[in-house]
């Protein structure tokens, strides 16, 4: 499960705690809202050089998601 933001992560934590038999794996990424731009750049410092455009952010998110999928499979 991919959680965008702390609120989604909190909900997923509750679901996982209440249903440990589901063995849910999740990754939390900064929310995609404009107000979270600072958190996004902090997580992906490369975006300081490349600029935090929608395309560059999506590429960083995709790389992290793919990395998690290949690590956990």
Give mean pLDDT, residues 26-38: 90
Q: Please, are residues 24 and 2 in contact by the beta-carbon 8 Å criterion?
A: no
The alpha carbon of residue 71 and the mean position of all alpha carbons in its chain are separated, in whole angstroms, by 15
pLDDT single digits (tens) 34-70: 888 999 999 999 999 999 999 999 999 999 999 998 8
Q: What are phi and psi of 64, to 5 degrees?
A: -70, -40
Q: DSSP per residue over 45-66, as a string? A: THHHHH---HHHHHHHHHHHHH
> Mean pLDDT across the stretch 8-29?
93
pTM here?
A: 0.83
Average pLDDT on 25-41 reads 90
Work out the average pLDDT over 5-11: 95
Residue 37, helix vs strand vs coil = helix
Chain center to CA of 31: 8
């Amino acid at each position: 499960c991919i959680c965008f933001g702390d609120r989604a992560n909190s909900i997923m934590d509750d679901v996982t705690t209440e249903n440990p038999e589901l063995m849910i794996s999740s990754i939390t990424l900064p929310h995609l809202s404009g107000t979270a731009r600072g958190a996004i750049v902090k997580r992906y410092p490369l975006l300081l050089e490349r600029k935090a455009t929608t395309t560059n952010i999506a590429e960083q998110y995709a790389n992290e998601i793919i990395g998690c999928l290949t690590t956990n499979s």
